[in-house]
Amino acid sequence: MSEQELGLYKEIPGGLRKGRSTADDWRKAKETMYYEWWRCLNASKEYLECCDKKGKNHELADTYALFGDVTISWANWWNKIGKRIFSERRQYPKVRAIEQEEALKKLEVEAEDFLILDIPLNLRRVTILEQINKLLDEHHDGKNLDVRVQSTALVQLETTKLQHKTIPVLVDVAEILFRTPDIQLYQLAQRAKLAEIHLGRKVQETNSPEQEKQRRQMAASRYKEQAERLVYNAARLKFPSIE
């Protein structure tokens, strides 16, 4: 795939438009799950060992073949590798007007990924849109549509039930564990800045210092387990996943 064809990404609204600077590219991508995946691999001891061996005779060779050496800076990695492996391999389809001859050809083809509408142009715009929306309600999956299933990128993100805001917190925990593997749970909770919402606290609830410590240890234990799964799966081309 040529450089000119890159630029469509499921996680980047509008993609990376032609003419945007390289600096803008990696900064825009840094706000996505692509960046969190890269962080995860940098918190994976076994994947970094794979990088040291350049993927040779290593269990994670398939991952290395795609992600390469992640120990370089995010900007360099994205421009060298990330933007290529996460880019869609085909253009997104667009809503368009079609000629009568083409419409007849479409009717002869069995397909479930398009809907042909007969739109009378002598109606008010608002009336037309109301009727189109009703038809879309009948034929479109709406919020249940999984656009990632249709991805044509070399590397694809998993569909997950994890909240989007939880994933960077788990990666934070993974990085702390990588740097200080023997850290105590209470210290982990403090360093990861697990907010009250992560601890399941009720607004007006007050605890003794000992109860507070136990609560934070329990939260840290849960996050530690999930972070370890996240890193393990990320190194095996499944992200974000804690299954």
Q: Give exposure, 172-198, as e/b (b: 16+ Cβ within 10 Å).
A: bbbbbbbeeeebebbebbebbebeeeb
Write out the E strands in 6-145: none
DSSP codes of every residue in 79-124:
IIIIHHHSS-SSPPP------HHHHHHHHHS--SS-------TTS-
Provide the residue-wise pLDDT of the chain in tens; the chain has 243 residues: 445 555 678 888 766 655 455 667 898 899 999 999 999 999 999 999 999 999 999 999 999 999 999 999 999 999 999 999 998 866 555 666 666 666 666 555 555 566 777 778 787 888 888 888 887 777 666 666 555 556 778 899 998 888 899 999 999 999 999 999 999 999 999 999 886 656 655 555 666 777 778 888 898 999 999 999 999 999 999 999 999
Residue pair 25/78 in contact by the 8 Å Cβ criterion? yes
Show me where the domains of the chain are located.
Answer: 3-85, 100-150, 166-234
Residue pair 10/152 in contact by the 8 Å Cβ criterion? no
Rounded Cα–Cα distance for residues 103 and 169 (Å): 50
- Provide CB contacts within 8 A for 77, sequence distance 6+: 38, 68, 69, 70
pTM of the entire predicted model? 0.75
User: Would you call 9 helix, strand, or coil by DSSP?
Assistant: strand
